[in-house]
Amino acid sequence: MLNILIIDDELPARDRLRRLVEAIPGCEVAGEAASAAEALEQIKELSPHVLLLDISMPGMDGMSLARVLQEGGASPAVIFCTAYQDQALEAFEQEAIDYLVKPVRVERLEKSLEKARRYLGDRRDSENEHFLRSTLGGKVVLTPIHRVICLLAEDKYTTVIHEKGSAVIDDSLTDLQQRYEDLFFRIHRNALVSRRHIRGLERKHDGHTQILLSGTDHKPEVSRRNISLLRKLLSELTE
C-alpha cells in the first residue's frame, strides 16, 4: 500500500486530492498538512511514501520544503500539485517525481503515483545493494546507482556523472546497461543516461541533438538511430 501525505494550505484542494487518491487501488491517504511546518511534523510521525505537495503556501512554500527534504537525505517521493505551469524545471531539479497542474485528473494522478511506486522500488533496491565502485586517492568510493545521472565511455574507462560530482570506473557501458537495464537508457554507443534524470532534447546548430539532464550541465550527444526511441520515452515520461 502506498501511503500519501497531502500538503496544501487550501482545504477544498486537500479534499479533492483525498477523493482522487481514495479512488486509486493500492493507495491511501496517511494524513494532511496545511503548511510546510505541519508537513515536517507529519513526515516525521507518519513516514509517508509520497507527498502530494502544493507550491504556493504561506510561510515556507512547497519548493523550499522539497529542498529542505532533499538536503536532509532520504525523503518521500514528491509530486507537485500546483496551479502554476511555469515552475516544472525547478521542481524536477528538486528531484520531483512529477509535476501536476490543477485541476488534477484522476488518470493523470494515477500515472504519477505509479511512477512514484517504481521510483521507490528502485531506490530501495539501490540503497540496499546497488553501488558503483571507484577508487580515489587509494580509497574505495561507493556511488549509489540511483544518484548516477549519466555514464560516458572514455578510452578504456567509464566516467560516472552523479549528483555529487564524478568518478571513473572500470566497468564497460555494455555491462552496466545489462546490469541496470531498467534504470538507464542508451542514447549513443558512448553514453547511457538515467531515465529519471531525463528532461528534454536540444538541437544544435550543426544538426546534432543533445539530451538535457537534471543535476548536471553535461549534455551528451544522442545518436540519430536513438532519437526516435528517446522521443517516445520522453512522451511516456510526460504523459
| Mean pLDDT lowest among 53-57, 115-119, 213-217, 218-222 | 115-119
Contact 192, 177 (CB under 8 A): yes
Better-predicted residue by pLDDT, 72 or 154: 154
3-state secondary structure of 103: coil
pLDDT at 128 over 50: no
pLDDT at 126: 46
The 8 Å CB, 24+ separation contacts for 72-78 are 74/127, 75/43, 76/5, 76/43, 76/47, 76/48, 76/49, 76/50, 76/51, 77/49, 77/50, 77/51, 77/116, 77/119, 77/120, 78/50, 78/51, 78/53
Task: Report the Cα 220 to chain-centroid distance in Å.
Answer: 19
* pLDDT, mean of residues 164-189: 90
Better-predicted residue by pLDDT, 142 or 110: 110
pLDDT at 74: 56
Condensed to tens digits (0 to 9), the pLDDT of residues 1-24 reads 889 999 999 999 999 999 999 999
Homologous superfamily (CATH) of 2-127 is Response regulator (3.40.50.2300)
pLDDT band, very low/low/confident/very high, at 234 (cuts 50, 70, 90): confident
Contact 70, 94 (CB under 8 A): yes
Contact 218, 150 (CB under 8 A): yes
| Mean pLDDT lowest among 12-26, 114-128, 186-200 | 114-128
Grid look-up 515520461 returns 237
Domain 130-237 class, CATH top level: mainly beta
Alpha-carbon gap, residue 61 to 43, rounded angstroms: 16
**High-pLDDT (> 90) share of the chain, %:** 51
pLDDT band, very low/low/confident/very high, at 199 (cuts 50, 70, 90): confident
Q: Structure pTM? A: 0.55
Condensed to tens digits (0 to 9), the pLDDT of residues 44-81 reads 888 899 999 999 999 999 999 998 887 766 578 999 99
Contact 55, 39 (CB under 8 A): no
The domain locations on the chain are 2-127, 130-237
pLDDT at 11: 97
Radius of gyration of the chain (CA): 19
